Amino acid sequence: MTTPRAAGVRPHRRPLHLRTTLILATLALLTTICVAIGVFSHVAMSNYLTGQLDEALAPAADRAGGGDGPRDGPDDGDRPFRGLDPGNAAGQRPGTLNAVYGSDGQAQTSALVQDDGTTDPLTAADLDLLAGVDPDDRPQELTLSSGHYRVDAAALPRELTSEGSVLVTGLPTAERDSTLLSLDLTITGLSLAGLILTGLTGTVIIRRSLRPLEELSAVATSVSRLPLSSGEVTITVRVPPAAAQPGTEVGTVGLALNEMIDHVTSALRARQSSEMKVRQFVADASHELRTPLTSIRGYTELILMSENISPSGRSALERVDSESKRMSSLVEDLLLLARLDEGQRGEVSDVDLTELVIETTSDAQVTAPGYSWSLELPDEPVEVRGVEAEIRQVLINLLSNAHKHTPPGTAIATAVILNGPHAHITITDSGPGIDPAFLDTIFTRFSRGDTARTANTGSTGLGLAIVQALIKANDGTISVTSKPDSTQFRVQLPLVATTSQPHHTPGQELTKDPSPGGHEL
Return mean pLDDT, the chain.
80
What is residue 76's predicted lDDT score, i.e. its pLDDT? 45
347 phi and psi, to 5 degrees? -80, 130
Q: What is the mean pLDDT of residues 352-368?
A: 91
What is residue 449's predicted lDDT score, i.e. its pLDDT? 60
Question: Worst-scoring range by mean pLDDT, 23-32, 428-437, 485-494?
Answer: 428-437
Compute the chain's Rg from CA coordinates: 51
What is residue 78's predicted lDDT score, i.e. its pLDDT? 43
Tell me the pLDDT tens digit for each residue of 259-291: 888 888 888 888 878 877 777 777 777 777 777
Let me know: does 448 contact 461? Beta carbons within 8 Å. Answer: yes
Query: Domain 226-344 has what CATH class?
Result: mainly alpha
What is residue 519's predicted lDDT score, i.e. its pLDDT? 38
What is residue 372's predicted lDDT score, i.e. its pLDDT? 92
pLDDT above 50 for 36? yes
The enclosing H or E element of 349 equals strand 349-352
- CB proximity list for 304: less than 8 A, separation 6 or greater: 314, 317, 318, 321
Q: Pairing mode, if any, of strands 383-386 and 422-429?
A: unpaired
What is residue 295's predicted lDDT score, i.e. its pLDDT? 85
For residue 215, name the pLDDT band (cuts at 50, 70, 90): confident
Choice between 2 and 193, residue whose per-residue pLDDT is larger: 193
pLDDT above 90 for 172? yes
| C-alpha dihedral, 392 to 394 to 400 to 404, nearest 10° | 170
Top mean-pLDDT range of 4-18, 35-49, 473-487: 35-49
Top mean-pLDDT range of 210-214, 355-359, 445-449: 355-359
Tell me the pLDDT tens digit for each residue of 85-118: 665 666 688 889 999 888 888 888 888 988 888 8
pLDDT above 60 for 3? no
pLDDT above 70 for 134? yes
pLDDT above 90 for 49? yes
Top mean-pLDDT range of 320-329, 464-473, 483-492: 483-492
pLDDT above 60 for 499? no
What is residue 66's predicted lDDT score, i.e. its pLDDT? 47
Report helix, strand or coil for 450.
helix
Tell me the pLDDT tens digit for each residue of 143-167: 999 899 999 998 887 665 566 788 8
The enclosing H or E element of 167 equals strand 166-172
What is residue 514's predicted lDDT score, i.e. its pLDDT? 39
For residue 80, name the pLDDT band (cuts at 50, 70, 90): very low
pLDDT above 80 for 312? yes
What is residue 419's predicted lDDT score, i.e. its pLDDT? 85
What is residue 293's predicted lDDT score, i.e. its pLDDT? 80
Let me know: does 494 contact 444? Beta carbons within 8 Å. Answer: no
Spatial distance between the Cα atoms of 94 and 425, rounded to a whole number of angstroms = 101
Distances (CA, A) of 186 to 29, 179, 180: 20, 11, 10
Q: What is the mean pLDDT of residues 332-342?
A: 74
Tell me the pLDDT tens digit for each residue of 457-472: 556 677 788 888 888 8
What is residue 51's predicted lDDT score, i.e. its pLDDT? 92
Tell me the pLDDT tens digit for each residue of 380-435: 888 998 888 889 989 998 998 888 888 999 999 999 998 888 999 999 999 888 88
Could you tell me how far CA 371 lies from the centroid of its own chain? 49
pLDDT above 90 for 173? yes
pLDDT more than 90, % of the chain: 24
Top mean-pLDDT range of 4-8, 343-347, 363-367: 363-367
What is residue 515's predicted lDDT score, i.e. its pLDDT? 35
Let me know: does 421 contact 495? Beta carbons within 8 Å. Answer: yes
Choice between 18 and 197, residue whose per-residue pLDDT is larger: 197
What is residue 507's predicted lDDT score, i.e. its pLDDT? 45
What is residue 516's predicted lDDT score, i.e. its pLDDT? 34
Query: Domain 349-509 has what CATH class?
Result: alpha beta
Spatial distance between the Cα atoms of 428 and 480, rounded to a whole number of angstroms = 10
pLDDT above 50 for 331? yes
Spatial distance between the Cα atoms of 255 and 253, rounded to a whole number of angstroms = 5
Helices (H) and strands (E) in the chain, counts: 9, 14
